[in-house]
C-alpha cells in the first residue's frame, strides 16, 4: 500500500479488493470532488500489480487533464512504474503494463490494447447503464479477449439523468457503490473548503424552457439566458459581492454566452478570459497558468472546468447556467472545494444566478435522478409523488393533506417548500443526553440509503435500510424489513417501517406484495424522507441489531 495515503483513501482501496474477492461484477468508488481520486487510482494500480505481477491495467478517462493527473500520481508514488499513455490529445500512443488512455482514442482499439485484467474508469458516471457508447464498446471488445476482466469506477456523482444510480438496470456495468468519504466528513477535517451561498438579487428566468433528455433544451436555454441585460446584471452583482476574492470561475450556457460574459467582465475593469471546447491545447494551458498566477481574475467557461480542473484557490463560483442535472450542479459546486495543504482560503462563495441551489438543494443532500421507468401510462405513479414536506416541522406528509398531521400547519402555498440558500446544508445538532443502557451503542446518523436485498438463502426480496455514521472508518448499520415473509415477520417489519417514516400513511400491508413494490418504496423513501438523527444498536460477534431511533 502506498505510504502517505489518507485513511479513507487506503480504506477505499482495501474495500474494493475485498469486494472483488467476495463478489461477481464491478464496484464503483464514490468520493467527493477534491478527495484525491487520483491517489486512490495510483494505490489501486500498485496494489493490483503486487497481487498480480503479470496483470495489465487500463486507466480510462474522457479529458486529458484527468489522464495527466492519474499518470502523474502513479509516477509520483512509483517512479519506475511500467506506464504508457495512449491519447491523441497528448500526442502519445504507448501501451504498457499500466496504460492511461483517453476513451476517445482507445474505444476502437481493443485489439491493440490486448489482454487487460483490470480497468479503472475516472468519472465513471459517464458510462451508460445501457449497452451503448464508447466505454461499453471498448469493454465488450476487451471482455472477448479476457472474460475475467474486472472494472472499477470512480466518481463523485454515481448517477445519470434518465438512468438513476449507476447500479440500476439489467445492463448496468456496476454492481455496487463503495463510499470512500462524504463532503461533510472532509470539510470537518479541513480537507475540503466550505462553500457559502446566499440568494442573489438577480435570478435567471427559465420558466417555460423546454426540457430534452432530462435537462433544459440548449438553444432555448441560451436564447432565454444570454442577453445584454442578464449578462450586465450578473457581472455587476458578482463584482459587488465578490469583493477582494481573487479567483472567480463562471459557468455559462454556451460558447457565445461565455465569450460575452468575458467581454462584460473586461468592460467592467476585471481581467477575464474564456475557455471552451474550441480553445486550443496550447491556449488552454496558457489561460490556466494565467488564472492560477493571478493575471486573470475571472475565467468563464462552458463545461471545461467541471471535471479535471484541479485548482485549489478558486474562491468564487458563479452559476450563470441553469441545469436540471444534479450531477452537473455537483460538479460545478465542487470546483470551489479544493484547498491547499496550507489552506489558502477558508471558504468559496457561490453566486447562483441560475437557481440551481433552490432547484437541487444542499450539495450534501442531493437526491439522485430517478431511472426512467418502462411502464404503461395507466400504471400508478411511484410513491414519491404522494408526499410533500411541511415547511414548518419539515416532516413528510401525504401530498393531498391540507393540514400537517405532525404540527397542525395549514397549507396555502407550496411553491417555497424546497427553497434554500444554504448550499452546504449544515446544521449543528446534538444527540439527546439521556443515559444509554449498557451494551447499547448510540450512533449519530448523517444519512441513510434504502434498497432491495435478495436473501442468500432463498432469494426472497427484503427491504433494507443502511444507516451511515459520520465516522469514516465505520461501516453502515443495516436494518432488514421482511415485508414479503410470512407472519409474524411481515407485521413486525410493517410496523417498524411506519415508525421510521414517522407515522406517514403508506400502502396497506396487503399491497406491498412484490419486489417491484419494495423497489418503489425504497425509491420513495430515498427521495422524500429524512433519516432519524440517531439509532441505538447492539453489536454481537456476527450481527448488528438496530433497537431504536429518534429525531430529537
Largest CA distance in the chain: 73
| Residue 490, all three cell numbers | 411481515
Q: How far apart (Å, rounded) are the C-alpha atoms in residues 273 and 261?
A: 9
DSSP lists the bridge partners of residue 549 as 535
Q: How far apart (Å, rounded) are the C-alpha atoms in residues 47 and 528?
A: 40
pLDDT at residue 290 tops 90: yes
How much is the pLDDT for 473? Answer: 65
**453: Cβ–Cβ under 8 A, 6 or more apart, which residues?**
461, 462, 463, 464, 480
Closest CA relative to residue 520, chosen from 451, 442, 426, 436 = 451
Taking residues 393-406, what's their average pLDDT? Answer: 57
CB contact at 8 A, 367 and 214: no
**79: Cβ–Cβ under 8 A, 6 or more apart, which residues?**
none
CB contact at 8 A, 218 and 321: no
How much is the pLDDT for 169? Answer: 80
**474: Cβ–Cβ under 8 A, 6 or more apart, which residues?**
443
Most trustworthy range by pLDDT among 106-115, 188-197, 335-344:
106-115
| Residue 521, all three cell numbers | 418504496
Positive or negative, the CA dihedral 149, 154, 159, 160 is: negative
- pLDDT tens for 356-371 read 988 888 888 777 776 6
SS3 207: coil
Residue 411: other Cβ atoms inside 10 A: 16
pLDDT at residue 260 tops 90: yes
Closest CA relative to residue 276, chosen from 311, 298, 252 = 252
Class level of CATH domain 188-365: alpha beta
Residue with cell 421482511: 482
CB contact at 8 A, 104 and 134: yes
How much is the pLDDT for 168? Answer: 82
Band of the pLDDT at 393, cuts 50, 70, 90?
A: low
Q: How many residues does the chain have?
A: 552
**For the residues of 452-500, what is the DSSP string, one character each?**
EEE-TTT--EEEEEEEE-S-TTPPPEEEEE-TTSPTTHHHHHHHHHHHH
Bigger pLDDT: 81 vs 429: 81
Nearest 5°: phi and psi at 168?
-85, 145
Q: How far apart (Å, rounded) are the C-alpha atoms in residues 92 and 321?
A: 35
- pLDDT tens for 49-100 read 999 999 999 999 988 888 988 999 999 888 889 999 999 988 899 999 999 9
pLDDT at residue 317 tops 80: yes
The gap from C-alpha 529 to its chain's centroid, in whole angstroms, comes to: 19
Q: Is the peptide bond before 304 cis (omega within 30 degrees of 0)?
A: no
Band of the pLDDT at 399, cuts 50, 70, 90?
A: low
Q: Is the pTM of this model over 0.85?
A: no
How much is the pLDDT for 372? Answer: 54
How much is the pLDDT for 394? Answer: 60
**103: Cβ–Cβ under 8 A, 6 or more apart, which residues?**
60, 61, 62, 134, 135, 138
Band of the pLDDT at 416, cuts 50, 70, 90?
A: very low
Closest CA relative to residue 245, chosen from 113, 347, 133, 100 = 347
- Provide the CB-side half-sphere exposure for 525 (13 A, CA): 27
Q: How far apart (Å, rounded) are the C-alpha atoms in residues 65 and 48?
A: 24
Band of the pLDDT at 420, cuts 50, 70, 90?
A: low
Nearest 5°: phi and psi at 197?
-150, 160
Closest CA relative to residue 216, chosen from 161, 262, 260, 163 = 161
Bigger pLDDT: 160 vs 27: 27
Positive or negative, the CA dihedral 482, 486, 489, 490 is: positive
The chain-wide mean pLDDT, for the chain, equals 84
| Residue 321, all three cell numbers | 447556467
Q: How far apart (Å, rounded) are the C-alpha atoms in residues 73 and 23?
A: 29
* Whole-number Cα distances in Å, 13 to 25, 27, 30: 17, 11, 12
How much is the pLDDT for 1? Answer: 60
Band of the pLDDT at 343, cuts 50, 70, 90?
A: very low
**For the residues of 130-160, what is the DSSP string, one character each?**
SS-SHHHHHHHHHHHH-TT-EEEEEES--EE
- pLDDT tens for 120-133 read 999 899 898 887 88
Return the H-helix or E-strand segment holding 12: helix 7-22
- Delimiting residues of CATH 3.40.50.300 domain(s) in the chain: 7-181, 188-365
Architecture of domain 7-181: 3-Layer(aba) Sandwich (3.40)
CB contact at 8 A, 112 and 86: no
Amino acid at each position: 500500500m502506498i505510504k502517505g495515503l489518507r485513511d479513507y483513501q487506503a480504506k477505499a482501496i482495501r474495500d474494493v479488493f475485498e469486494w472483488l474477492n467476495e463478489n461477481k461484477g464491478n464496484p464503483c468508488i464514490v468520493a467527493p470532488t477534491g478527495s484525491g481520486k487520483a491517489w486512490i487510482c495510483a494505490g489501486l494500480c500498485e496494489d493490483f500489480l503486487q497481487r498480480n505481477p503479470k496483470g495489465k491495467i487500463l486507466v480510462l478517462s474522457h479529458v486529458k487533464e484527468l489522464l495527466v493527473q492519474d499518470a502523474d500520481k502513479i509516477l509520483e508514488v512509483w517512479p519506475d512504474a511500467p506506464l504508457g499513455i495512449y491519447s491523441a490529445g497528448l500526442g502519445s500512443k504507448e501501451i504498457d503494463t499500466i496504460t492511461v488512455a483517453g476513451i476517445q482514442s482507445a474505444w476502437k482499439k481493443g485489439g491493440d490494447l490486448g489482454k487487460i485484467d483490470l480497468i479503472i474508469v475516472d468519472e465513471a458516471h459517464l458510462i451508460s447503464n445501457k449497452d451503448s457508447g464508447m466505454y461499453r464498446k471498448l469493454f465488450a471488445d476487451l471482455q472477448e479477449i479476457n472474460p475475467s476482466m474486472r472494472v472499477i469506477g470512480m466518481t463523485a456523482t454515481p448517477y445519470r439523468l434518465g438512468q438513476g444510480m449507476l447500479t440500476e438496470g439489467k445492463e448496468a456495468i456496476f454492481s455496487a457503490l463503495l463510499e470512500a468519504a462524504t463532503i461533510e466528513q472532509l470539510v470537518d477535517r479541513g480537507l475540503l473548503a466550505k462553500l457559502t451561498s446566499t440568494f442573489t438579487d438577480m435570478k435567471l428566468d427559465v420558466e417555460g424552457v423546454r426540457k430534452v433528455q432530462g435537462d433544459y433544451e440548449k438553444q432555448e436555454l441560451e436564447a432565454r439566458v444570454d442577453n445584454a441585460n442578464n449578462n450586465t446584471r450578473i457581472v455587476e452583482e458578482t463584482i459587488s459581492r465578490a469583493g477582494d476574492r481573487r479567483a472567480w470561475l463562471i459557468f455559462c450556457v454556451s460558447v457565445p454566452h461565455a465569450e460575452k460574459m468575458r467581454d462584460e467582465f473586461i468592460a467592467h475593469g476585471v481581467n477575464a478570459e474564456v475557455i471552451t471546447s474550441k480553445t486550443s491545447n496550447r491556449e488552454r494551458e496558457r489561460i490556466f497558468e494565467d488564472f492560477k498566477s493571478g493575471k486573470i481574475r475571472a475565467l468563464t467557461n462552458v463545461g471545461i472546468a467541471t471535471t479535471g480542473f484541479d485548482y485549489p484557490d478558486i474562491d468564487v463560483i458563479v452559476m450563470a447556467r441553469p441545469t436540471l442535472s444534479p450531477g452537473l450542479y455537483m460538479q460545478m459546486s465542487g470546483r470551489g472545494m479544493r484547498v491547499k495543504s496550507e489552506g489558502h482560503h477558508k471558504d468559496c462563495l457561490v453566486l447562483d444566478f441560475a437557481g440551481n441551489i433552490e432547484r437541487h438543494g444542499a450539495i450534501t443532500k442531493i437526491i439522485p435522478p430517478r431511472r426512467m421507468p418502462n411502464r404503461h401510462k395507466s400504471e400508478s405513479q411511484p410513491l414519491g409523488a404522494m408526499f410533500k414536506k411541511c415547511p414548518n416541522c419539515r416532516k413528510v406528509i401525504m401530498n393531498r393533506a391540507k393540514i400537517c398531521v405532525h404540527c397542525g400547519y395549514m397549507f396555502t402555498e407550496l411553491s417555497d417548500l424546497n427553497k434554500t440558500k444554504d448550499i452546504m446544508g449544515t446544521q449543528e445538532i446534538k444527540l439527546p443526553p439521556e443515559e444509554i443502557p449498557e451494551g447499547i451503542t448510540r450512533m449519530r446518523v448523517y444519512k441513510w440509503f434504502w434498497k432491495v436485498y435478495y436473501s442468500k438463502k432463498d432469494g426472497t426480496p427484503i427491504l433494507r435500510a443502511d444507516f451511515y455514521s459520520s465516522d469514516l472508518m465505520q461501516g453502515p448499520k443495516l436494518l432488514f424489513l421482511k415485508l414479503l415473509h410470512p407472519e409474524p415477520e411481515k407485521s413486525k417489519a410493517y410496523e417498524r417501517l411506519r415508525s421510521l417514516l414517522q407515522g406517514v400513511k403508506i400502502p396497506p400491508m396487503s399491497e406491498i406484495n412484490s419486489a417491484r413494490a419494495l423497489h418503489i418504496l425504497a425509491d420513495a423513501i430515498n427521495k422524500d424522507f429524512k433519516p432519524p438523527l440517531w439509532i441505538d444498536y447492539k453489536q454481537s460477534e456476527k450481527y448488528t441489531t438496530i433497537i431504536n431511533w429518534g429525531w430529537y
